[in-house]
Amino acid sequence: MSQSGTSSQGGRRKKILAVSSSGGHWIELLRLRPAFAGHEVVYMTTQKGSQSQVLGHRLHIVPDANQWTKFRLLITLVWVFFLIARERPDIVISTGAAPGYFAVRFGKWFGARTLWLESIANAEELSLSTRLVKPYADLWLTQWPHMETPQGPFYRGDVL
Amino acid sequence: MAAYGNAARSFLQGGCALIFVTVGTQLPFDRLVKTMDAWAARHPAEQVFGQIGNSAYTPQFVIWTRFSPPESFREKYQAADLIVSHAGIGNILLAIELQKPIIVMPRRAELGEHRNDHQMATVKRLQEKAGIGVIYEAAELDQAIQCTRATNIRPSRPTAASTELLTTIRDFIGADS
């Protein structure tokens, strides 16, 4: 693992910030790992004790929050903002939900390219964070072919 | 050995079969916890461990805990010969990763078990894709456990996301801004 230079594909080595809430979102995110090979990956999630699953990578724990916990949401927002300002990732990738939304949004402000993957749990209706993140996601994906529309989200496979 | 089923195999190895029942951490799911407790009462030789979250019903025959940190949660999964779970995507994906037979029961909004019926929608589609057992009513559990053990069915697709998705993400990362 070189600290700089080129990735295994020959392109420039990028800094990826991979973000998700705990539980299903996190397990879905971990299943994307083979795609990160050759790049620097920093993880961000909401549950302490997750480090053992991403050994060898830096991990930030941020407070969990959702649309029903407005005050905590504000704390998460500020927390994520400062982490993004410090990390300055080239790429932000998230599988949801609230912390991922903030990370994509602030990542975009700081010039990152952003990818959002809707959870496979949502087979019939897009989640709130997925709907809100649309303008800030350079690539906006669903995991169900029947949810794809010409304006997005797009279907490009799933985590299974 | 598969012909004897998992329970027989564990018995032959000198251990007990272990069922791990888990309902996630966000919402109670009394219907599943009660059902599994009743099953454990009828099968005293079986060992059933439960992670019951905020459920109001506290089991008498299932050995239970409310929450379980990721590390020990994974250990419970690995030790179990069968997972019985709410239809949470994390639990389903972990069963796929560890190749554990799993029976899921979706939460239903009309019974106050979730804010919406997304678990119903998800399982319908995942059933076709991944080979997981699904029950909708408590009364179906007994037969589902028997069937799952008899057929020794395991979820398909063990390791990572689909090739199409990984390629898409790899290309996205590699592209120059």
pLDDT in 10s for each residue of chain B, 177 residues = 333 344 444 444 445 679 999 998 888 999 999 999 999 999 999 999 999 999 999 999 999 999 988 888 999 999 999 999 999 888 988 888 888 999 999 999 888 898 878 888 778 777 776 678 899 999 999 999 998 888 877 777 656 888 999 999 999 999 976
Question: What does pLDDT average to over chain A?
Answer: 92
Candidates B26, B67, B89, B107, partner chain A, best to mutate (most A CBs within 10 A): B89
Cβ neighbours of A115 in B, within 8 Å: 169, 172
Tell me: ipTM over 0.85.
yes
Question: What DSSP string describes B67-92?
Answer: ---HHHHHHHHHH-SEEEEES-HHHH
- Give which of A6, A17, A26, A27 to mutate to test B binding, by max B Cβ within 10 Å: A27
| Contact yes or no for B160 and A157 at CB 8 A | no
Distance from CA of B103 to the nearest CA of A (A): 16
Alpha carbon distances (Å) from B112 to A52, B28, B31, B157: 35, 10, 11, 33
8 Å CB contact between A47 and A22: yes
Please say whether the dihedral angle defined by the alpha carbons of residues A154, A159, A160 and B6, taken in this order, is positive or negative. Answer: negative
Global pTM value: 0.75
Encoded amino acid at A7, one letter: S
Chain A residues closer than 8 Å to B158 by CB: none
Number of H helices, E strands in chain A: 4, 7
Q: What is the pLDDT of residue A66?
A: 87
**Using an 8 Å Cβ cutoff, are B61 and B41 in contact?**
yes
What per-residue confidence (pLDDT) applies to A5? Answer: 53
Chain B's closest residue to A139, CA to CA, is B172
Higher confidence at residue A2 or residue A119? A119
